């Protein structure tokens, strides 16, 4: 069988050849117009962010499996794949440490106003202080604060564990099934209203697109932080800017945008304020997490080829 990795440059790790592959081909990146010719005759496509929509899949009758090198699979037309017997597998539980750590790096920086204090030091404000310290910005503790989590999967649970270690009260937002067994849920609106930090760890689905909009921001505390290390489309980005400008929330930390990479002129790229942190979709990308992902990626393909598929997001047969 031919196996083709369409965007190999998106993964900084060692990727072994699938055990059964007669031919294994890697491309650093692939434009939409190159997908069909590059996958011609391939049984397995490995992708990260290359879109696999119905109009593309219709032209690939030999394709039997799509292995997604990520947890999110919104780039794949799963319904088409299910109807046409194409297996789709994603990565599970690979970023359960690195994403929560990144989220808390942003939470701590914002809650303690580290960026504002760094700016004051660089501007010479401390040098002019009449005291040994420079108390120009509020500093909030995490101990005793409330952490609201939207998404109770492995990453959401790991984020909750870190929050509890800091002495935070943790709330999980209620949502339609499926739900994690044993988790106590609070209504979505109550989580927004009670939380000092709201952290997003849910998938991007039609039901969750623009989940955090202007209505949601108005329900949040004025001292609250919004952290998004999940998917950019979960938040209405124009509403986020309005909320920060109006002081509806105290700050935000984002690792994701609706369009990635962003184009010049994207409004969040131009947002220069100490209560907003934007990182370039790297929360997942510790060296250990990427190697774990690469190993599970090929494990998924080998398991499918052996007739014992794992981590499928399609229900085949």
Instruction: At 49, list the tokens.
Output: 């962010």
**Rounded to whole angstroms, how far apart are CA atoms 150 and 103?**
13
How many domains does one find in the chain? 2
For residue 37, the domain's CATH number is: 3.40.50.720
pLDDT of 93 reads 84
Pair 18, 165 in one domain: no
Asked if residue 85 and residue 27 are part of one domain, the reply reads yes
- pLDDT for position 72: 83
Residue 153 makes CB contacts below 8 A (sequence gap 6+) with 180, 201, 202
Say whether both 103 and 90 belong to one domain.
no
Q: Which H/E stretch holds residue 79?
A: helix 78-83
Of the residues 231, 237, 272, 311, only one is catalytic, namely 231
- Whether residue 82 is contained in a domain is answered as yes
pLDDT at 315: 52
Is residue 260 annotated as part of the catalytic site, yes or no? yes
Does one domain contain both 124 and 229? yes
- CB-side neighbour CA atoms (13 Å) of 134: 16
Q: What is the mean pLDDT of each run of 10 residues along the chain (317 residues)?
A: 96 94 95 97 96 98 96 92 95 91 98 96 95 95 98 95 98 92 95 98 92 98 98 96 97 96 90 95 94 96 90 64
Indicate whether 317 belongs to any domain: no
pLDDT at 309: 84
Q: Domain for residue 283, yes or no?
A: no
Q: Is 143 a catalytic residue?
A: no
- Does 59 lie in the same domain as 187? no
* Catalytic residue chosen out of the listed positions 102, 111, 281, 311: 281
Beta-strand pair 185-186/169-173: parallel
Q: Taking a C-beta distance cutoff of 8 angstroms, is the pair 90, 75 a contact?
A: no
In a domain, 312, yes or no: no
Determine the structural domain holding residue 120 and report its residue range.
98-278
Domain presence at residue 311: no
| Cβ atoms within 10 Å of 204's Cβ, excluding its own | 19
- Residues 111, 239 share a domain: yes
In a domain, 221, yes or no: yes
Structural domain contains residue 315: no
Q: Is the model's pTM score more than 0.75?
A: yes
pLDDT value of position 106: 98
Predicted local confidence at residue 317, as pLDDT:
36
Same domain, 148 and 198: yes
Residues 41 and 117 both lie in one domain? no
8 A C-beta contact, residue 169 and residue 123: no
190 catalytic residue (yes or no): no
Would you state the pLDDT for residue 316?
44
Q: Kindly state whether residues 90 and 186 are assigned to the same domain.
A: no
């Amino acid at each position: 069988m031919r196996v083709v990795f369409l965007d190999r440059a998106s993964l900084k790790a060692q990727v072994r050849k699938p055990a059964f592959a007669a031919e294994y081909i890697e491309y650093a990146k692939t434009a939409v117009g190159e997908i069909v010719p590059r996958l011609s005759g391939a049984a397995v496509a490995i992708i990260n962010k290359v879109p696999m929509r119905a109009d593309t899949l219709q032209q690939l009758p030999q394709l039997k499996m799509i292995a997604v090198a990520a947890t999110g699979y919104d780039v794949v037309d799963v319904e088409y794949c299910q109807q046409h017997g194409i297996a789709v597998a994603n990565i599970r539980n690979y970023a359960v440490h690195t994403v929560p750590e990144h989220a808390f790096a942003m939470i701590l920086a914002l809650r303690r106003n580290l960026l504002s204090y760094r700016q004051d030091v660089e501007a010479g404000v401390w040098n002019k202080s009449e005291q040994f310290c420079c108390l120009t910005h509020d500093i909030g503790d995490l101990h005793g604060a409330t952490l609201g989590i939207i998404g109770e999967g492995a990453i959401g649970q790991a984020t909750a564990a870190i929050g509890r270690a800091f002495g935070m009260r943790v709330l999980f937002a209620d949502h339609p099934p499926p739900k994690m067994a044993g988790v106590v849920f609070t209504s979505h609106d109550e989580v927004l209203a009670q939380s000092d930090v709201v952290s997003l760890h849910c998938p991007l689905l039609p039901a969750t697109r623009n989940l955090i909009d202007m209505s949601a921001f108005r329900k949040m505390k004025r001292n609250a932080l919004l952290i998004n290390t999940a998917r950019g489309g979960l938040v209405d980005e124009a509403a986020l800017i309005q909320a920060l400008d109006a002081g509806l929330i105290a700050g935000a930390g984002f690792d994701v945008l609706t369009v990635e990479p962003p184009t010049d002129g994207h409004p969040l790229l131009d947002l220069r304020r100490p209560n907003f942190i934007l990182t370039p979709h790297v929360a997942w990308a510790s060296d250990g997490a990427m190697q774990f992902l690469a190993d599970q990626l090929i494990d998924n393909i080998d398991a499918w080829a052996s007739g014992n598929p794992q981590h499928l997001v399609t229900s085949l047969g």
